[in-house]
A = this chain, B = another copy of it.
Amino acid sequence: MAVLASGIAPHHITVFLLSVGVMLGLARFLGEAARRMGQPAVLGELLAGIILGPTVLGAVAPEAWAWLFPELVDPARDVYDFSYVALEMLVTLSAVLLLLVAGLEVDLSSAFRQGRATILVSLTGMIIPFGIGFVLAWFLPGPLGLGPELDRLPFALFVGIALAITALPVIARILMDLNMAKSDFGALIMSSAMINDLVGWIGFAVVLAMVHTGTSEGHGLGLTIALTLVFVATTLTAGRWLIHRAFPWLQANLAWPGGVLAFVFVLAMVCAAFTEWLGIHSIFGAFIVGVAVGDSPRLTRRAKDTIHDFVSNIFAPLFFASIGLRLHFTEAFDPPLVAIVLAVAILGKVLGSYTGARLARLGPRRSWAIGFGMVGRGAMEIILGQLAYNHGLIGEELLVALIVMALVTSMLTGPMMQWLLKGKRPRRLGEVLTHETFIPALRATDPRNAIAELAAAAAAAAPGVDARELAREAWRRERITPTGLANGIAVPYGHHAGVRTPLVVLGLSHAGIDFDAPDRRPAHLVCLLVTEMHDFEAQLELLEMVAHAFATPEARAAVRSAGSLTQLKAALTTTALADDEHAPEATGGCPE
């Protein structure tokens, strides 16, 4: 049996810190790459783990792999390697924080306000996939990978739950992209997904309790389930009430925002320890704390953002990368199993949610959109699968199939909803400007020459645009209606036959150019908006894009000091408003 002479050795600290650095670095890098290809970041983060795990690194360089990601017992020296323990515990902590954040996103009070339609969509959207999954796993446990030593009931319950949950963060992101997050329709989808998740996790807690009954840690099935339900009910009623009452006091009396941050953390840790002791995994307690805290109107954006930034950029990549570390991904990839899980997951969820939406009297197109909106499983499914695997509830093959299913359904959601709702995400100025359409320093000092300079750039960027004609047309309009806005912005318009896609050209003027603005200030940011003849809708869209980008004083100041396209994009990114954020007051008090 393995022994260790002394305590934690410096070698363990070295390996622990390096493995965290490497995992985080690769996971973030591939996560960003996935995001830039329009895919969910979790795809890249999982891939990082598969590369660092037995599938790639372990096969290519087994010794380096064994050094960086050791097992608990070092086989060569027959001693415990504590860097393994440290990494495992950090991953557990990451999962706890991940579910805390997931819980914070659940807005119970708004879910209840939505009423009947929410209940219908979430219930049928859960019951139908759960039923299909349960029946399938009950009658075909073998092909789904149930080992002979395991009980059939918790297995079938788990498969049902795994098919019934949905992915709140995926949906929230897509609705934001479609500019529908604040609409009634968006609120209906979000609320239904919230209820799905809440019920799903409570169900999963019950399944875990069933698995642990009879082991040394178990407290008896009835007691565990009773304690779980009492915990959920108390936290979401009395606990939630107390927390909401405590926030104003905390904010008035503690260091800001640190006091609130620490308060939420302490609650999450204590409740996580409690549910771990109950035998239903620590993350469940953190999730319920998140739900209880999350919809407090007193938990301000700043506190939520700080938690969110940290967890989704540090702890989430670590968790998802850790999954691949111990998984033989290619060996465990079972094509028929993956195909079955995928088909059932998509059919069950789409049909279930569609039926619920139809029962709630929504039109067929919107009902299909809800169906495909709820189909995305995302990160939640992967966490669920990983936990079930760790607890011996499912095998490696089913875990891999669930991961693939989570990824495919998440990638399906966005395009399908976009197609069904014909929605589109408003473009951002930083995404459309190129080296051709950004002039860091205009030579012109008067509006006429500035427009000519910008029109020349537009002609260089768009084939078929004649620079002189565009400049003449824009100058004609400028003389009739000057386009100087307040705060040093001017937006001359140029209509031109043969512009295929509307175009913005941005020029910076350091001296400033007088575009006859109402506040008499010279324009430092001059945007020529180029559209097809008489396409006023496109013109308005471009104007909104510019106004959104330059809404705050910080944004205008940062853009004015940009000397290159990269600096410009950095300035626009770091000062960008969130999609649902507006800063009317920044200019609202001024006579624009």
CA distance A585 to B487 in the complex (A): 10
Q: Which of A9, A249, A310 has the most C-beta atoms of chain B within 10 angstroms of its own C-beta?
A: A310
CA distance A310 to B36 in the complex (A): 28
CA distance A557 to B584 in the complex (A): 13
Stretch at the interface among A24-32, A174-182, A524-532: A24-32
CA distance A17 to B249 in the complex (A): 26
Residue of B nearest to A212 (CB): B10
- A49 within 8 Å of B by Cβ? no
CB under 8 Å from chain B, chain A span 240-288: 247-249, 251-259, 261-263, 265-266, 268-270, 272-273, 276-277, 279, 282
CB under 8 Å from chain B, chain A span 552-576: 553-554, 557, 566-567, 569-570, 573-574, 576
- A14 within 8 Å of B by Cβ? yes
CA distance A139 to B86 in the complex (A): 42
- A72 within 8 Å of B by Cβ? yes
CA distance A255 to B16 in the complex (A): 26
Chain B residue numbers with a CB within 8 Å of A262 are 24-25, 28, 313-314, 317
A309 touches which one: B15, B306, B314, B574 (CB < 8 A)?
B306
A567 touches which one: B248, B258, B305 (CB < 8 A)?
B248
Is A276 a contact of B13 with CB atoms below 8 Å? yes
- A214 within 8 Å of B by Cβ? no
- Beyond A3-B3, A573-B252, A589-B486, whether A265 also contacts B24 by CB under 8 A is yes
| Subset of 9 A-B contacts with CB under 8 Å | A13-B276, A17-B270, A20-B269, A21-B265, A24-B265, A85-B85, A247-B570, A298-B570, A300-B574
CB under 8 Å from chain B, chain A span 466-501: 486-487
Is A17 a contact of B309 with CB atoms below 8 Å? no
- Beyond A313-B258, A553-B585, whether A28 also contacts B567 by CB under 8 A is no
Stretch at the interface among A88-96, A154-162, A190-198, A348-356: A88-96
- Beyond A13-B89, A262-B314, A266-B28, whether A251 also contacts B589 by CB under 8 A is no
- A66 within 8 Å of B by Cβ? no
Chain B residue numbers with a CB within 8 Å of A247 are 570
Is B256 a contact of A519 with CB atoms below 8 Å? no
Is A252 a contact of B72 with CB atoms below 8 Å? no
Chain B residue numbers with a CB within 8 Å of A22 are 270
A566 touches which one: B85, B252, B587 (CB < 8 A)?
B252
Q: Which 3 A-B pairs have the closest CB atoms?
A: A21-B269, A258-B313, A553-B585
Chain B residue numbers with a CB within 8 Å of A248 are 566-567, 570
Residue of B nearest to A564 (CB): B248
- A8 within 8 Å of B by Cβ? yes
Chain B residue numbers with a CB within 8 Å of A570 are 247-249, 251-252, 298
Chain B residue numbers with a CB within 8 Å of A257 are 309, 574
CB under 8 Å from chain B, chain A span 303-319: 305-306, 309-310, 312-314, 317
Task: Give the total of A residues in contact with B, Cβ under 8 Å.
Answer: 96
Number of copies: 2
- A590 within 8 Å of B by Cβ? yes
Chain B residue numbers with a CB within 8 Å of A88 are 7-8
A92 touches which one: B13, B259, B298 (CB < 8 A)?
B13
Nearest CB on B from A387, distance (A) = 12
- Beyond A11-B217, A553-B585, whether A282 also contacts B85 by CB under 8 A is no
Chain B residue numbers with a CB within 8 Å of A310 are 261, 306, 310
- A302 within 8 Å of B by Cβ? yes
CA distance A553 to B585 in the complex (A): 6
Chain B residue numbers with a CB within 8 Å of A567 are 248, 252
CA distance A590 to B72 in the complex (A): 66
Chain B residue numbers with a CB within 8 Å of A85 are 8, 82, 85-86, 89
- A140 within 8 Å of B by Cβ? no
Chain B residue numbers with a CB within 8 Å of A93 are 17, 90
- A76 within 8 Å of B by Cβ? no
- A35 within 8 Å of B by Cβ? yes
CB under 8 Å from chain B, chain A span 215-260: 217, 247-249, 251-259
- A540 within 8 Å of B by Cβ? no
6 more contacts with CB within 8 A, not counting A28-B263, A32-B253, A251-B570, are A10-B279, A22-B270, A32-B259, A89-B90, A306-B306, A589-B589
- A586 within 8 Å of B by Cβ? yes
Is B24 a contact of A269 with CB atoms below 8 Å? yes
